[in-house]
């Protein structure tokens, strides 16, 4: 039997417009609804987006990509003039797909089916956008509509208005949580804070975290300090005690890298076992802040100076490094397993390093793509795959 029998066949093209695979949508009842030909060296569905080759010019011009779920959704969007639409090849969105999209646009709009399955797929996709740090908004179409049916029924202008009214990722999740909990009751507010708190503390951008806390406090009528206190509790309850101790206040405007360095330094200061376990594994050069690097050099050195606070201070030349050491010594230990928590910090620092290198490659890829330099694109894609493989290894 033909693998795609009784299905409408959709050619799948790469960015250069070359057909690399075929997809089939079932005509009558049957499962799966979408079926692709097998993966090859030219076609890995988790690394491609349907119609991106046709949509990329419009994506660049509008500065935004419309991400839908199925082939028909994408084709109908293009038919009705929404030419910046792409689809996820009938599979759950992957990090590789979103990183590919990030090469062409600074933001995206997610328009999935409004039934329970579509909403679930959209919420899972939001996590991937958050990992890739690609800003995304979510469209909630009225009724039980999918983009294909909505466009045919309401037209392109109504679809564009729906996209313009799309909710930012946090507001969408807040609205969804308010449907599950009664935000007028104390118990409902606690449930919403606990649910969204996991999203907030898992993020790596402190500016975005601060805005989420402010928005949550405003919507629920709760003081920001109360929400921050609950976030600290949630953070301490996570495996490995991930996050800065509540007694060590974060510095406004610093990034995830600096916060992770401070957490690691705190573990090095208060736990001799951590110093022994990391000596020879991480070096002072891994710390980007000068006072962090200076303190790390003293802590990771051989000898008694690394374990006795008075002698440790004598090795520090800058006042900022001495001040940091004093604050770290006063902060209460927070990790249940300090060695494991320190190892997690080291992995996060290495992961951030790899992310920065990946971002640099993404910029080079955008330049090569504009210049239509196919050889350079191929070289950069190879380097990018290696770095992404390294990043996956760091996470385990």
pLDDT of residue 248: 43
Nearest-10 Cα torsion for 137, 140, 141, 145: 110
Q: What is the pLDDT of residue 238?
A: 61
Phi-psi region at 341: left, alpha or beta (left = phi > 0; alpha = psi -120 to 50): alpha
Could you report the per-residue pLDDT of 108-162, keeping only the tens digit for each? Answer: 999 977 655 556 666 677 778 877 888 899 988 877 688 999 999 999 999 999 9
Global pTM reads 0.58
**Exposed e or buried b per residue across 48-70, where buried means at least 16 C-beta atoms within 10 angstroms of its C-beta:** bbbbbbbbbebbbeeebbbbbbb
- Residue 91, class by beta-carbon neighbours within 10 Å (0-12 exposed, 13-18 middle, 19+ buried)? middle
Task: Tell which residue, 258, 208, 221, 264, has the closest CA to residue 241.
Answer: 264
Mode of pairing for the β-strands spanning 167-168 and 85-87: unpaired
Predicted pLDDT at 121:
62
- Per DSSP, what are the bridge partners of residue 282? 279
Intervals of the chain under pLDDT 70: 90-91, 114-123, 144, 202-205, 237-256, 302-311, 330-335, 393-396
State how far the Cα of 132 lies from the Cα of 100, in Å rounded to an integer. 10
| Residues facing residue 23 across a β-bridge | 10, 36
| Residues whose CB falls within 8 Å of the CB of residue 5, separated by 6 or more in sequence, listed in order | none
Q: Using one digit for the tens of pLDDT, what is the confidence trace for 57-66?
A: 999 999 999 9
Residue 114 has which token pair?
């409004």
pLDDT at 307: 55
């Amino acid at each position: 039997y033909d693998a795609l029998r009784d299905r409408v066949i959709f050619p799948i093209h790469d960015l250069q417009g070359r057909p690399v695979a075929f997809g089939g949508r079932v005509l009558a009842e049957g499962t799966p609804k979408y079926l692709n030909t097998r993966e090859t060296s030219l076609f890995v569905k988790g690394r491609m987006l349907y119609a991106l080759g046709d949509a990329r010019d419009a994506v660049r011009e509008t500065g935004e990509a419309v991400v839908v779920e199925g082939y028909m959704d994408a084709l109908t969007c293009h038919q009705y003039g929404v030419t910046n639409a792409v689809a996820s090849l009938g599979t759950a969105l992957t990090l590789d797909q979103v990183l590919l999209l990030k090469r062409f646009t600074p933001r995206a709009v997610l328009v999935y089916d409004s039934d329970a399955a579509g909403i679930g797929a959209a919420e899972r996709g939001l996590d991937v956008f958050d990992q890739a740090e690609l800003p995304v908004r979510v469209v909630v179409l009225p009724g039980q509509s999918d983009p294909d049916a909505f466009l045919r029924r309401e037209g392109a202008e109504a679809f564009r208005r729906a996209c313009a009214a799309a909710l930012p990722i946090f507001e969408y999740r807040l609205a969804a949580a308010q449907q599950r909990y009664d935000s007028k009751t104390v118990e409902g507010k606690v449930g919403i804070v606990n649910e969204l708190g996991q999203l907030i503390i898992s993020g790596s951008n402190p500016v975005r975290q601060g805005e989420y806390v402010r928005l949550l406090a405003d919507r629920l009528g709760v003081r920001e300090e109360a929400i921050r206190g609950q976030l600290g509790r949630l953070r301490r309850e996570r495996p490995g005690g991930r996050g800065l101790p509540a007694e060590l206040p974060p510095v406004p405007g610093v990034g995830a890298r600096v916060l992770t360095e401070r957490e690691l330094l705190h573990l090095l200061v208060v736990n001799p076992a951590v110093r022994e376990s990391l000596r020879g594994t991480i070096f002072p050069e891994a710390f980007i802040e000068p006072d962090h690097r200076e303190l790390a050099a003293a802590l990771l050195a051989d000898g008694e100076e690394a374990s006795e606070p008075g002698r440790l201070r004598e090795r520090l030349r800058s006042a900022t490094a001495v001040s940091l050491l004093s604050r770290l010594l006063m902060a209460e230990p927070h990790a249940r397993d300090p060695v494991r928590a320190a190892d997690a910090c080291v992995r996060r620092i290495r992961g951030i390093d790899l992310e920065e290198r990946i971002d640099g490659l993404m910029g080079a890829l955008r330049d090569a793509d504009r210049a239509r330099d196919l050889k350079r694109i191929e070289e950069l894609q190879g380097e990018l795959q290696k770095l992404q493989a390294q990043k996956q290894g760091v996470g385990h």
